[in-house]
A and B are shown apart, each in its own frame.
Chain A
């Protein structure tokens, strides 16, 4: 793997720009004996090593190693399957610190599964290594909340601050950038609109002072001006504060504008490269199975 490729952003093994993933090795065996690598966010150790999944405790007893200094994340031979259905197969890539990586692909390609595997919420085979000291802010796609759940946005943010052992947080400093007035944040979260709650989730991530943002369609359900506002916010955080950003998006014009690299997932192929290499009509047709067009902003 070329050093220059590693340093420049995200790459897939054994390829230059675009690669189709190979067949996954058979990793059968009993669940408790299957050698797996699991993400651990416990304590100060935020990296992944080779280990054995303890089926009884659900914990990984692993030898931890860190991603290299240049890379925030190193993923190697990652495969995820649910019973007989393989969702991700032998995926390998690295993400350089401070880079922005868009994950694209049709519905069911495994984009959300990939993010959930990266945060250790799903069992997988392969290796996921985060650099030491990583603080991840994760914004999920959609949450089903009861409308009458008696937790306000401020309760939710306060809980995050308390978990992070922050004694006092000026909530306006995290609410203002995402465009939520304090009065809205004082409402129960179940009564918020989809767009408002999505913004609150981003504010929640920011309370944890992250150096990595994982965003699963962060602007889904947000109105048009709000989408532009949030996209600009994420871009600003990445550029000004050096955050590493992995985001899932179906908005290819946004991907073209904001991403340094694009990881595409589909049943047909897996590919990686800069937007201008990946977002070509031929490749998009192959990924999505039909014609896909998008608008490239002049600025």
Chain B
């Protein structure tokens, strides 16, 4: 892996750690998986139109986030059912429109060097996500505790919610080239879940989540390079290993 590719991967991991923290605290981590499926039809259509697949994924994911946002006003059970049906259907459509090696790359990430446009996309989108979270974290915290209270504090709740979901969708798109849409969902969620177990406050949650995400990415990439394997699955396995270690650490702390 080149230094440039490593920098892009670390930027992606930082964005995933921050976005994942709020996904886990908001209790929408299960949405990551179905939302990631919606990227596939976009990739298929982009490939058919000879457009860069990441572009198709971004458009499809942005639409998927908009759909989740629009459904959120309805009863929770209705929303979850709708997301389950629609996004599973998207996976089926994506499997038809994206075939062979392209499908495997889209799901689990592909090998090969990143192009200049991919590097620029990765760094700029990751930076935008980091800036969004750092500037909106206080509003997100208040909204998370109570949307009603947030509204009286002058926070435009629905707009902030949409911005967050779109940032979430873009983070999935960030990992498309490197981890694939399925594994990127895991990188967003697992370090944040681990961080939540280790944290007592907001800042420690954000720091732990970012640190674990970056550590998983860097260590996973190094192990993958050493073993001549794809990086995505190894990164997720490292993140899972760190989660298991946190279980032991917590148990040890409880015993003491």
Contact = CB atoms under 8 A, between A and B. Distances in A.
Are chains A and B native binding partners rather than an unrelated pairing? Answer: yes
A41 B157 CA distance: 11
Q: What is the interface of chain B mostly: helix, strand, loop, or mixed?
A: helix
B205 A150 contact: yes
Given A58-B73, A159-B138, A119 B145 contact: no
Counting chain B residues whose Cβ lies within 8 A of the other chain, the interface size class is 20 to 34
A8 interface: no
Contacts of B144: 151
Given A160-B142, A162-B138, A163-B142, A201 B154 contact: no
B52 interface: no
Interface residues of A, number: 35
Contacts of A41: 151-152, 154
Given A150-B205, A151-B202, A159-B138, A143 B154 contact: no
Nearest to A197: B145
Given A58-B73, A146-B27, A208 B153 contact: yes
A20 B68 CA distance: 43
Interface in A107-154: 116, 119-121, 136-138, 140, 143, 145-146, 148-152, 154
Contacts of A208: 152-153
A164 interface: yes
Contacts of A150: 25, 195-196, 199-202, 204-205
Interface string B143-169: 011111101111110100000000000
B139 interface: yes
Contacts of B151: 41, 119-121
Given A159-B138, A162-B138, A151 B152 contact: no
B201 A151 contact: yes
A188 interface: yes
A189 interface: yes
Contact of B158 (A58, A156, A160): A58
A37 B27 CA distance: 32
Interface of B: 25, 27, 73, 137-139, 141-142, 144-149, 151-156, 158, 195-197, 199-205
Given A119-B152, A160-B153, A164-B154, 5 more contacts: A41-B154, A137-B152, A138-B152, A150-B200, A159-B141
Interface of A: 41-42, 58-59, 116, 119-121, 136-138, 140, 143, 145-146, 148-152, 154-156, 158-160, 162-164, 188-189, 201, 204, 208, 214
19 contacts: A41-B152, A42-B154, A58-B158, A119-B151, A119-B152, A140-B146, A143-B145, A146-B27, A148-B197, A150-B195, A150-B199, A150-B200, A151-B144, A156-B142, A162-B138, A164-B154, A188-B201, A201-B149, A214-B152
